[in-house]
Structure 1
C-alpha cells in the first residue's frame, strides 16, 4: 500500500472518530469511538470489495427481516459468532462457587405457566419424562427461599413450542424454591437439536462448514432479591455434541448425569408413568450476590 493510500484511510478514521467528540454521554462516546476503530480496522485488514460489502449488508438485512416476536435471528447470529458467550463471560465474573452462566438463547418467552413444586412443565410436549431436583443457595451456603426458577426446553423432536404454528405452550414453566431452597419438577429428557438454520445464519454456517447442532440441554433462569440473576443450562453427560455445540454454550461444570430409569421403576412422587422409561437429574444452583454483577 502506498503512503498516500495509507494516509487517506487513516485520515478518514480520524474524521469519523472526531464526529463523536460532542457526544454528551461519555459511555456512548466510548462505545462509538471503539466501534469505529475496530470496524475500520477490520475493513482495512480484510479489504473487502464493494460487492462483498454489499453482500454483508444484504446478509444483515435478511437477518433483520426474519426477526420477529417469535424468532430472533440476531440472537442466533450473536450466539453462533460467540459474541453472546463473550458478553456473558464479561458480565458474570467468577465468584466463589456460584453456578456458571451460559447463553440465553432466542426461545425464552415471558409469562410462562406457573407450576407448583413437583409439577410438570412438559405441557403435553413429546419426550421422555425427566425428574429434575435440586436446591438454590447463596455463596455463603444459605438456602434461598422463593427464588423464581424459569425453565424451558425443546421437545423430543427438537422444536420449542414457539416454533410451531398452533400457539401451543409446552416444555416451559416457572416455579419457586421452597423454604429450604429446594425445587423439583417434571420435564423432558433433553435431546440434541439444530438451531433454526433455514435463514441467513444457517446459510453462514453451511458456507463455513459448521454444524447447526446444539448439545442436549435444559434452560434455567433463576432470580432472587439481592442476588445476581443467573441464566444457564444443564447439559447431558455423554452427549457427543458437548465439544461442538454450535453456540459455544457448554461448560464442564454444567454437564450433569441424567440417570436412566427402566420402565416400572417407581418415580419419587409416585406418578403413574404407564411403564415408560424416564430419567432423573440433580442440579444445585448457587447464586452470587447482586454486588458481584460486573
Structure 2
C-alpha cells in the first residue's frame, strides 16, 4: 500500500493589493452589484472590463428579476459541475450546452453575418477532432459498412465565381446509426473524417455515407436539461465541412439533406435554408464503380459549390 502523500496544499496570495478606494459593506442587493462594478472598473484591459461589466449587470439583474432561491442556485452550480465532469478530450459537453441554448449559433451569426452569394456558416458541434486523415480527391472518408453510399462533389469559389485551388476541406459525419466514431468505446482511429484539397480548378469530391438524423447525447446533463425544457434532442441529418484557404475567411458549415422532419427545429439551431441540399439517386453499376464504390449498383450524389469570402 502506497504511503500517504506528505504534500500539503498551500494557498498563496496573488499579490494584488486592496483597491485604493473604500467599499461599503455588502448589506443590500444593490450594494453587492455596485461594489462588483466598482472593482470591475479597475480592470486594465478595456475589452475585458466591458465584458465583465455587462456580465455582472445582466447576471445580477437575472437573479433579482427571478428571485432565484438558494436551492435553485445550488442546483444550477451542480448542473454546471456535471457539465464539466462529463466533458472529455473527445466529448465537449460545454459546447453541447452552448449549442442547445442557441449561444453557439448566435455568436457565429453575429461574428460571420451573411454575405450575398457566400456559403452560410453553421455550428461546429461537439464532435470535431484533430485527427482527420488526409485523403485524395475521389477517396472515401468512411470504412465499409457505415451506411448507404454517398458521393459529395463541387467546387470552391470566391464571391466573384473564381476557383480557389488548394483550399483545405475538412469533413466529418455520423454513421447510419447516428453515432460519431468518438462515441464508440473501442475507437482505435478516425472514421468518417477526412481532409482533402481542391484541385487546380477548385474542384473537390469524396465518398461518404448518407447521413441520418440522430439524437445528441442524452446520457449527460445537457440531455437531461432538454427533457426538463420539453424539447426534443434531435439533429437533422447533416455533414460537417470546414474550408480554409489563404486570403479567405475560414468557413465552418454543414450540409443538410432536404426532407428531414427536424430541419426547422434542429436542437442546436444550425440549419440555414441555403444549406438544405438535394441528394440525387444514381442507379448505374458502371457509374457506381467509377466513383470508387466497391459493390452495389447505386449511390446518392450531392453536388454543392462552396463560396468563400476574401479577408
TM range (shorter): over 0.9
The answer to whether the Cα contact below 8 Å between 1:125 and 1:155 also exists between their aligned partners in 2 is no
Question: Which residue of 182, 185, 190 corresponds with 2:206?
Answer: 185
Is the aligned partner of 1:204 residue 2:222? no
Distance (Å, rounded) in 1 between the aligned partners of 2:65 and 2:282? 55
Match of 2:69 in 1: 49
Is the aligned partner of 1:86 residue 2:106? yes
The answer to whether the Cα contact below 8 Å between 2:149 and 2:293 also exists between their aligned partners in 1 is no
Is the aligned partner of 1:103 residue 2:161? no
Matches within 5 A, 1:106-125: 106-124=126-144
Matches within 5 A, 1:261-272: 261-262=282-283, 264=285, 266-267=287-288, 269-272=290-293
- Structure 1 residue runs without a partner (length 5+): 1-6
Match of 2:160 in 1: 140
Q: Secondary structure at the match of 1:43?
A: helix
Shift of 1:218: 0.3
Q: Specify whether residues 179 and 11 from structure 1 end up closer, same or farther in structure 2 by C-alpha distance, changes over 3 A only.
A: same
Distance (Å, rounded) in 2 between the aligned partners of 1:213 and 1:191? 11
TM-score normalised to structure 2 length: 0.88
Distance (Å, rounded) in 1 between the aligned partners of 2:82 and 2:63? 21
Shift of 1:265: 6.7
Alpha-carbon RMSD across the aligned residues, in angstroms, is: 1.5
The answer to whether the Cα contact below 8 Å between 1:125 and 1:171 also exists between their aligned partners in 2 is no
Match of 1:12 in 2: 32
Q: Specify whether residues 148 and 41 from structure 1 end up closer, same or farther in structure 2 by C-alpha distance, changes over 3 A only.
A: same
Match of 1:258 in 2: 279
Match of 1:285 in 2: 306
Distance (Å, rounded) in 2 between the aligned partners of 1:211 and 1:66? 20
Is the aligned partner of 1:163 residue 2:218? no
Match of 2:170 in 1: 150
Question: Which residue of 90, 97, 106 corresponds with 1:70?
Answer: 90
Distance (Å, rounded) in 2 between the aligned partners of 1:127 and 1:89? 32
Q: Secondary structure at the match of 2:29?
A: helix
Match of 2:80 in 1: 60
The answer to whether the Cα contact below 8 Å between 2:173 and 2:238 also exists between their aligned partners in 1 is yes
Shift of 1:111: 3.0
Distance (Å, rounded) in 2 between the aligned partners of 1:92 and 1:247? 17
Q: Secondary structure at the match of 2:226?
A: helix
Greater C-alpha radius of gyration: 2
User: Relative to structure 2, which stretch is displaced further, 259-268 or 247-256?
Assistant: 259-268
Is the aligned partner of 1:33 residue 2:33? no
- Structure 2 residue runs without a partner (length 5+): 1-26
Shift of 1:277: 3.6
User: Relative to structure 2, which stretch is displaced further, 259-268 or 14-23?
Assistant: 259-268
Distance (Å, rounded) in 2 between the aligned partners of 1:119 and 1:274? 15
Distance (Å, rounded) in 1 between the aligned partners of 2:131 and 2:57? 41
The answer to whether the Cα contact below 8 Å between 1:215 and 1:235 also exists between their aligned partners in 2 is yes
Shift of 1:81: 0.2
Q: Specify whether residues 276 and 268 from structure 1 end up closer, same or farther in structure 2 by C-alpha distance, changes over 3 A only.
A: closer
Q: Secondary structure at the match of 2:71?
A: helix
Distance (Å, rounded) in 2 between the aligned partners of 1:263 and 1:42? 60
